[in-house]
A and B are shown apart, each in its own frame.
Chain A
Amino acid sequence: MSKTVKSMRTPLGRVRGLGSAKEGVQHWWLQRVTAVALVPLMLLLACAIIKLAGSDHTALAETFQNPFFAIIVLLAVLAAFWHLKLGAQVIIEDYIHSEGAKVATLLAVTFAIYLVGGIAAISVLKLFFGA
């Protein structure tokens, strides 16, 4: 019996398994990875903010000098903005159908998220190093 063609995909394409978007399940998977990371990080951040809510600047600056505290806040910021970038992309792709407006919005929102996330991360580092 001769080999019948069961799929239009090339053998290499099938092995890679990345599909037409050429990224496979990467977007979906990273959204779950960041989600799992954010569960403990956000609970810890919530506890920290509850404790710091009424603090003056001196007490706040001292807390940020603690490396354990600083790394938790920094990881929370990085995971949150990454998760936000992935989520915002899905919402934009769902609701904006014209290609030009979609790409423009995706670019603008992605840049804005990295800008704001960058400011947040640098602020944490500045507080930690006490510069």
Chain B
Amino acid sequence: MANVERPLSPHIQVWRPTVTMVTSITHRITGGALGVGTLLLTWWLAAAAAGPEHYATVQAVLGSWFGRLVLFGFTWALFYHLCNGIRHLFWDAGYGFEVKTAAKSAWAVIIISVVLTLLAWILAYAVN
């Protein structure tokens, strides 16, 4: 490969951010975050399989204020990636490419992911 410093495309810093750009990169960031978060899920499952003492340790860590904060972020990342993933599946099927439609579905994903996150936590506190 030639070592010439040619400008890379897309030249993202020259454009004003749009909601579709933000939702696009956020899909990748939440995907990466969820990947790291699988370590938490696996720790929880492995500790539950290992026995009551290990399980109590995990519950104590995840139940602390910091644990709850991380889990709250994890919940939002999950619902965001889920909603935006469905949006991607519609694109794969050939629907929703118009600029206005894409912007509307971007806002819908943002709003629905926040609503689902809040709903999940309200339900979790109500049930337990």
- Please name all residues of chain B whose beta carbon is closer than 8 Å to the beta carbon of A88 when the two chains form the complex: 32, 35
Q: Give min CB distance, B128 to chain A, whole Å.
A: 3
Contact in complex: A91, B32 (CB < 8 Å): yes
Interface stretch of the complex, out of A4-12, A13-21, A119-127? A119-127
**B-side binding surface: helix, strand, loop or mixed?**
helix
- Please name all residues of chain B whose beta carbon is closer than 8 Å to the beta carbon of A36 when the two chains form the complex: 89
Give 1 or 0 for each of B20-49: 1 = CB within 8 Å of chain A CB. Answer: 000000001001101100110110011011
Q: List 13 A-B contacts (CB under 8 A).
A: A32-B89, A39-B86, A46-B78, A50-B127, A57-B48, A57-B52, A61-B48, A73-B45, A84-B35, A120-B46, A122-B49, A123-B42, A127-B48
Give the A-binding residues of B (Cβ under 8 A).
28, 31-32, 34-35, 38-39, 41-42, 45-46, 48-49, 51-52, 55-56, 75, 78, 82, 85-86, 88-89, 92, 120, 123-124, 127-128
